[in-house]
Structure 1
């Protein structure tokens, strides 16, 4: 794990990474700490910040009612925080936003503060994985912010994405393609690596596999990075596999049962194709190539035939917000390096 200790007074906290890399687990762990509350993916930067040209001046009396209702809808339906949204009047949003300097930064500060206050916490934040694309913006607004970037073996990421439909999320099957999903992981990891290089004191990078292998050691380091004491209750999360819906038994604690599952869930062709795309980033993050044989020509043809439809589904039929600004960021990562 990289990243160093912060100032004594913790700033806001953001958990970022690629989807299916352990960001939900990290959010659950951190929310067991009595001083921390993170939203479960509100996507503020995609839904509000990226749409600022059409929204306008959020401090304007004419704009406030409309944007504040939009914030409440975001909390209710994107982040699943109805209880906070329903208890968040315009006056409270405006007061906290103004105290934080107003504008879009002040609005986000007010939203984060509302969540933390609702749960009696003093460290506020969010766990939208895609905020990895906004690291520079986050740290421009909040120089004292702490960012935790989750990394996972990209083959484990592919396996998780491939099998998420087993939980009844059928659209995941229609969004899975080893080519496009490998490029997605690569683009997000490039953004995370760039952010960590540029802001080494603010961005802590932790591998999912290291976290589940030795939770106490790595959580103590993360707590030092955030600026809070370690709390043993953080280890007492509800551990259930979020990709494989046939596993219904709930276990308390952080378990490592899924870390190498890709070895049996992915085909040699999927592994071969993925490693051709993300191999450089994978090895830079400490993951060794699998050394599988060559691909199946027939499976490659199938992947190619499915590519246009599934790439479209991955970008536009996710159930999560997509803006052209975000799309440009992702495509820029595809082209870079």
Structure 2
């Protein structure tokens, strides 16, 4: 059995939106393997200037060594020597290396469909599609109030509900700003709907991936997995347990009315587009949204002015 690596599936979205849960569900299917977070686009392609010309052996070797050093590489149970040897026989491009990484994971798992789950790859959809023209994307979205509340448990939180709400807004809108080209290339899943009706939504996803539904996807938590390292990333612990519907309303207990209002004021447009209802009265929410929109406009103007000033200084 050999995976069709020309049509990989990428699970993307804002971090803490349930992408690990969905990864576990899909990976439980006997014909699917979803690789853990490689952060390939950010860590490697995004730093291509630091690696320099890959035609130079030293630069290429350093890139391969850094990929092999990823904790996720170990969790994918790939053979470092085999990967390195194969990498020296392919074109020296980021697309070829990313493809090789997925190919070897697919070969290890002996599946028909290969995928990868890095939430912030939502920011790189056009480039990923350039790497894999037939790629498909699953965009997982979640209530921003729940996401911001969940961010309190992770080490990369800004510590500010305002900044974290802006982060959610930036990631969510990325899939709208730069969607994949072509028909049936992206499938949007609401976390809440997945948790409330997992079978119905997993069946729809299987159709999207041209696969038959398998009940094993519902029993994902019974499957031993090395793709989620709870010791290294304890905030992912819930993803290896049965679905918990209490996660849908936890934000209502944890966030203060003022925090909720701040989040809703920042994300109101996106919330409305995605079908989420604001809790804050419109009379309070509209002035707040207007103030935030004005603030964003001035920040944009300030950035533009700084950019123009830098160009003038250089000229």
Same fold (TM over 0.5): yes
CA RMSD of aligned residues (A): 3.1
The answer to whether residue 130 in structure 2 is matched with residue 140 in structure 1 is: yes
Cα distance between partner residues in 1 of 2:264 and 2:6: 39
Structure of greater Rg: 2
8 Å Cα contact 1:16/1:147 also seen in 2: yes
- TM-score, normalised by the number of residues in structure 1: 0.72
Identify which of 77, 86, 91 aligns with 1:83.
Answer: 77
CA deviation profile, 1:13-52 (whole Å, cap 9, x unmatched): 1100001000111111111112221221110001110111
Q: CA deviation at 1:249?
A: 9.3
Structure 1, unaligned runs of 5 or more: 1-7, 166-170, 296-330, 333-337
- TM-score, normalised by the number of residues in structure 2: 0.77
Mean Cα displacement is larger for which, 30-39 or 51-60? Answer: 51-60
Identify which of 97, 100, 114 aligns with 1:124.
Answer: 114
Cα distance between partner residues in 2 of 1:30 and 1:180: 31
8 Å Cα contact 2:10/2:115 also seen in 1: yes
Q: CA deviation at 1:199?
A: 4.8
Q: CA deviation at 1:218?
A: 0.8
Q: CA deviation at 1:198?
A: 5.2
Identify which of 179, 191, 204 aligns with 1:208.
Answer: 191
Cα distance between partner residues in 2 of 1:26 and 1:216: 12
Q: Which residue of 1 aligns with 2:272?
A: 283
8 Å Cα contact 1:196/1:205 also seen in 2: no
Q: Secondary structure at the match of 2:123?
A: helix
Cα distance between partner residues in 2 of 1:64 and 1:280: 44
8 Å Cα contact 1:73/1:85 also seen in 2: no
Q: Which residue of 2 aligns with 1:237?
A: 220
8 Å Cα contact 1:211/1:218 also seen in 2: yes
8 Å Cα contact 2:14/2:119 also seen in 1: yes
Q: Which residue of 1 aligns with 2:206?
A: 223
Q: Which residue of 1 aligns with 2:165?
A: 182
Q: Which residue of 2 aligns with 1:306?
A: none
Q: Secondary structure at the match of 2:243?
A: coil
Identify which of 25, 32, 35 aligns with 2:31.
Answer: 35
Cα distance between partner residues in 2 of 1:250 and 1:123: 21
Identify which of 23, 30, 51 aligns with 2:19.
Answer: 23
Q: Secondary structure at the match of 1:238?
A: helix
Q: CA deviation at 1:250?
A: 9.5
Aligned positions, number: 274
8 Å Cα contact 2:264/2:280 also seen in 1: no
Q: Secondary structure at the match of 1:83?
A: coil
Q: Which residue of 2 aligns with 1:260?
A: 249
Q: Which residue of 2 aligns with 1:94?
A: 88
Q: CA deviation at 1:57?
A: 3.6
The answer to whether residue 91 in structure 2 is matched with residue 104 in structure 1 is: no
Q: Which residue of 2 aligns with 1:269?
A: 258
Cα distance between partner residues in 1 of 2:120 and 2:239: 28
Identify which of 31, 50, 56 aligns with 1:54.
Answer: 50
8 Å Cα contact 1:155/1:274 also seen in 2: yes
